[in-house]
Chain A
């Protein structure tokens, strides 16, 4: 008996304590991952209250927007691809509307059907995949693209967009250019971005449970056992959320560590600089070029705009790099025949949100704004949309 306790005791005691800890973790407050990084008091609004769905996120809910769009029976459909600026409303009140909602409502009487897809920290590789996926499904006649300098540093393709690569038509389209082939090599063989490394706000859970098994007998058994355990146990089902919580906790720990470093070294944490790595910039720039080429080849006119940023607040990017980015976007638009709109100063005044800059310092959120900001963005975009897609003012 003593022998058994000595050898198996720690094992059973350890497993029991681990089970107890897991049971304690489960009722822990749920983190809303779709709103991480949106800033303080900022809400993700996708126009779901609208009677006809026109604003979606990824392939995951694309069916809702496609179905609603088909029911609207409009020929002139424009797809708007962007980042969280399009769906985030700071200090959201009843009746507040996002810019996509305002423009959808505003252009509907003129027969222009604006369908928006936006994701937190979206990058142009993801936009490229989504465009290829939605182009025929939505019978897209025009494309609006928002260019955010910060998102040029984003890497990877989230699982809920990479799943579009299962579509043979998408694969065929992407295979026609180097940027697309690179995406196919990286994400096309069930090697979707694992959930551990994405930036705040992207989906952490979602990698299929058995991607390494490659159609083997074990893949089928594994999927069955995994599903069976999921039906049986909430603990098993919630593992994705626990993984996400661990990542979230580590990121908070990192922020605290940087904050401590800044305090100890006397670094002004309100004047931090966000680096946009050249290599990642290059990947996203090539994806944008491929996207503009693909749209032109499909006869889809493009409106490319530089996203608003606060005029009066500290903008945490190297000024010369940001200027080079704007030049780059303008050059690409000219080369590829897209209409360029520089809307960087379009949203003015005290309409921007507040955000923890990652090291515990509350600063102006340079990406998201309140309802009034959405109204300004919609107003600034309206003439460009009319000109490019309704032929007004030409």
Chain B
């Protein structure tokens, strides 16, 4: 089910009504049943795949808990094999076959026809969640859940099922098990978060998306350096609005049930370094990568929380081959998690390069006491430029678009005497694109200040808080009412 729809709003209202009236055993069944209905509204045929993954991990986690030594490790490997096998089959088979086919073509052989496989919605998210559960049980960070309904409810819990946040068992299962007391504050906060998410999605993301699609439909060689820069900016904002919208709605929906999810975004474009960016962007994924991939690869102790993002202060011993290798392997795999294409790997590697670059220059920057604003000035454009392979259709298109930055002719268009100076800067996109990109960049600068001011005003007195919250609801509700249409999926659905 797509969040930005009437269907979801009706479904959520009906669910909440039942949730707060049914007794505990029925409530857990309601969570599981509703989650399956939620999933089935998109594709019923993939429910068994999800339930198979859930059942395997439920059984194996219980067995892991009672086993020791090699058997314990073997059971974990079996769980990983099952989950990663499912992911590999559904998500990467076509990619692998395509690459083998290209290789065969290079060697003079015949191409291989790609199989017809449809990616089950949310598989990247629920398999990662399942993996985190069995690994946590193996590590002793979580206890195996006795109730299948409760465990299945945790993995398939509809607010986070198809696009996260990726939650840890110890963050959610106890909340599902022990229903919190009905609280009006939770209801009000939940509705506000949902409104905020819908605003980001239907008012901002979907409208920016139209400009992005128009721009990327143009032939790369015809575009100027300014066009490509603007396209990166616009797509960077589109994906941020889109994905953070999903997280807002997921967090808000859970809050309506009295369940708290950790935050998934925290003004990522205000980050003053690439590392800080990953502590603010898709926090649950970067934390997952940290605990189940990066830190184990580095041989460092892991954590058991989906908060915090990438590690800080793990630089003991300076830059080593293992540390750098772990960084690149982690980020390349994170790129590949986003999509089965080399463009996503390139995106991941780009971020690894940024983090490595930051690691190398950070000590000198600290010594020189450079202002953090300078860090933002370097980080923001580089992060935005990184979205190019993420959005482009292929490595070739990425290279063509990126090449526009390296040619002088893509910066300057000689014009006859008497033309306006601005006409010398070649621009090919819809003129509104540049204005929108500029306004959104300005918003990045002012958003944290506005948020701070809002909170201070709201905290000043009960009446000012009432007024501020009312005005926010008026503005968001008005625009959401006018723009609510499921005309576009959330970008992260495809991952």
Contacts and interface: CB of A to CB of B under 8 A. Distances in A.
Contacts of A18: 473-474, 477-478, 481
B1 A218 contact: yes
Nearest to A193: B210
Interface string B166-205: 0000000000000000001101100110000000000000
Given A194-B207, A216-B41, A14 B487 contact: no
Name the prevailing secondary structure of the B interface residues: helix
A15 interface: yes
B432 A194 contact: no
Contact of A239 (B42, B191, B481): B481
Interface string B453-495: 0000000001001100111111001100111011111000000
Given A8-B188, A14-B469, A222-B7, A207 B474 contact: no
A73 interface: no
B219 A279 contact: yes
Contacts of A155: 214, 217, 430
Given A182-B217, A213-B5, A7 B188 contact: yes
B435 interface: yes
B223 interface: yes
B211 interface: yes
Given A212-B2, A280-B428, A221 B192 contact: no
Contacts of A7: 184-185, 187-188
B222 interface: yes
B2 A207 contact: no
B427 interface: yes
A361 interface: no
A280 B2 CA distance: 34
A275 B482 contact: no
B470 A14 contact: yes
A279 B5 CA distance: 36
A205 to B, nearest CB: 11
Interface string B409-453: 000000110011001001111111001000000000000000000
Contacts of B396: none
Contacts of A363: none
Contacts of B185: 7
Nearest to B478: A18
Contacts, number: 161
What bracket does the count of chain B residues touching chain A fall in?
35 or more
A283 interface: yes
A275 B488 CA distance: 31
Contact of A209 (B419, B435, B466, B486): B486
A163 interface: no
A277 B487 contact: no
Contacts of A193: 210
Contacts of B211: 197
What bracket does the count of chain A residues touching chain B fall in?
35 or more
B206 interface: yes
Contacts of B222: 278-279, 282
A91 interface: no
Interface string A1-12: 001101111110
A207 B485 contact: yes
Contacts of B474: 14, 17-18, 21
Contacts of B217: 155, 182, 185-186, 283
Which has the most chain A C-beta neighbours within 10 Å: B4, B211, B217? B217
A218 B483 CA distance: 18
B10 interface: yes
Contacts of A324: none
Which has the most chain A C-beta neighbours within 10 Å: B1, B185, B470? B470
15 contacts: A8-B187, A11-B188, A14-B477, A15-B477, A17-B474, A210-B485, A210-B486, A211-B488, A212-B487, A217-B40, A229-B6, A275-B431, A283-B218, A318-B423, A320-B416
Interface of A: 3-4, 6-11, 13-15, 17-18, 21-22, 155-156, 182, 185-186, 191, 193-194, 196-197, 207-213, 216-218, 221-222, 225-226, 229, 235, 239, 242-243, 246, 254, 273, 275, 277-280, 282-283, 318, 320
Interface of B: 1-2, 4-7, 10, 40-44, 184-185, 187-188, 191-192, 206-207, 209-211, 213-214, 217-219, 222-223, 227, 415-416, 419-420, 423, 426-432, 435, 462, 465-466, 469-474, 477-478, 481-483, 485-489
